[in-house]
Each structure stands twice: as C-alpha cells, then as structure tokens.
Amino acid sequence: MSKRLGWFLAGGLLVALLLAGVVSNFASGSPDGLDATARQGCTFDADDEITGGTCMLQQEQGHQMDGSPLAGYGIRGIDNEWLSTGLSGVLGVLLTFGIGGGVFWLARKRKSPEEANT
C-alpha cells in the first residue's frame, strides 16, 4: 500500500469517527420521511403514544435486534445519552471499517508464485 493511500484512508477514518462520535448527537430527533408517513392519520399525546386515528404505525412490531447492545442508536447500559450515541457511532464506524478492510484484504489481487520470484 502506498504512503498516500495510507494517509487518505487514515484521514477518511478520522473524519468518519468525528462525524459518528460528535456530529451524530446533533441529528434531528424529528421523524424522517418513512416515520412521518407511518404516523399520518393518527393522533399522539405528549408522551408520543397513539391516542386515536388509524395509521401504519399501529401495526409496528418489535424486531429481532431490539434487545441487542447497540439497539436504538446507543449502547445499552450507558445512561449518558450523548456518550452512548457517540460511542455507538464510533463502534459502528470501526466495525464497518474493519469488516470492509477485511473483505478488501481477502479480495485483493495476489501475485502468482512466478511474479513473486521476479
């Protein structure tokens, strides 16, 4: 790997870690397009519980990963929301980078034994 590529990858990883660890805490708490569409037709109380109407959200069910340590954009067991969200983002970036790097390492073009001897 060339020195320039190494610096580029390190810089990209640093930017991704900063975005995931710090900037992710400033993401909007408002529902995105899919959530907003799923809420159409229902009324909600101050605790965001459905109080009436008919909407897709009433059919919502838990998913298999609900109890996982990283469910809900945070780390279970860490009470500080900012720290939990930031660490969750950093862990996600590191896992993604590690898995992606491993896949690229396995898929890289290797020299044949004849090319290695020259």
For 64-107, the pLDDT digits (tens) are 888 888 787 889 889 998 999 999 999 999 999 999 999 998 99
* Dihedral angle, C-alpha 33, 38, 41, 46, nearest 10 °: -90
Q: What is the pLDDT of residues 31-62, one digit of tens each?
A: 678 888 999 999 999 998 899 999 998 988 88
Domain range summary for the chain, segments of one domain joined by +:
30-60, 73-118
Reported as type and span, the H/E element at residue 52 is: strand 50-53
Residue 29, φ and ψ in degrees, nearest 5: -90, -5
pTM above 0.85, yes or no: no
Rounded Cα distance between 88 and 95, Å, is: 10
Give the pLDDT confidence score for residue 33 in this predicted structure.
Answer: 83
